[in-house]
Amino acid sequence: MSAYICNDDTMVHIMNYLRLAAKMGPDHRHVQHVIDEFAEVTGGCSSLVTATGLQTLGDKLRAANQDSVNQRYNEQAEAPVFTYLPKDVSPPTAIQAYKSIQCLAYQCAEGDVPERPIYKLLIALEDALAHEIVQGLDAYEKAVWG
């Protein structure tokens, strides 16, 4: 397996989706409980709706990504700076956010990073978003229950 630092677009897709989901609250019920836990991991930021909270989370995710790459290749490189600039752009689709989360999680899966709380929350977010995507499909609504 190779490992690399995810690009800023990948990070922004994740941050913008979290910002949208945090604003929507109960409309994103599967993701909301993970968002609450991310807020705790970011050092007490009360909300991922704020640029400060998202920047803090982005910094922690980027650091985990760099630590994973460093452990994979036995390096000591510093994480590239990630600057979250909230823009009035359309948030990514849930599918794009999911794929970006998968990419970041895969690139963070080296060394001891998978044992860290931030990685475990990233995986929980991946799972919650998958549930949200599937349960939003017409085919899911039409499927028989029980």
pLDDT, tens only, 46-101: 567 788 888 889 999 999 999 999 999 999 999 999 999 876 567 789 999 999 99
d(CA 49, CA 42) in angstroms, rounded, equals 13
- How many C-beta atoms surround the C-beta of residue 105 within 10 A? 21
Residues, the chain: 146
pTM above 0.85, yes or no: yes
- How many C-beta atoms surround the C-beta of residue 109 within 10 A? 15
Number of domains in the chain: 1
Q: Give the type of residue at 93.
A: T
Domain contains 2: no
62, 15 Cβ separation under 8 angstroms: no
126, 105 Cβ separation under 8 angstroms: yes
pLDDT, tens only, 5-54: 999 999 999 999 988 888 877 777 778 878 878 777 766 555 677 888 88
Domain contains 47: yes
- What is residue 56's predicted lDDT score, i.e. its pLDDT? 87
**Structural domain span for residue 19:** 8-142
Domain contains 123: yes
- What is residue 45's predicted lDDT score, i.e. its pLDDT? 53
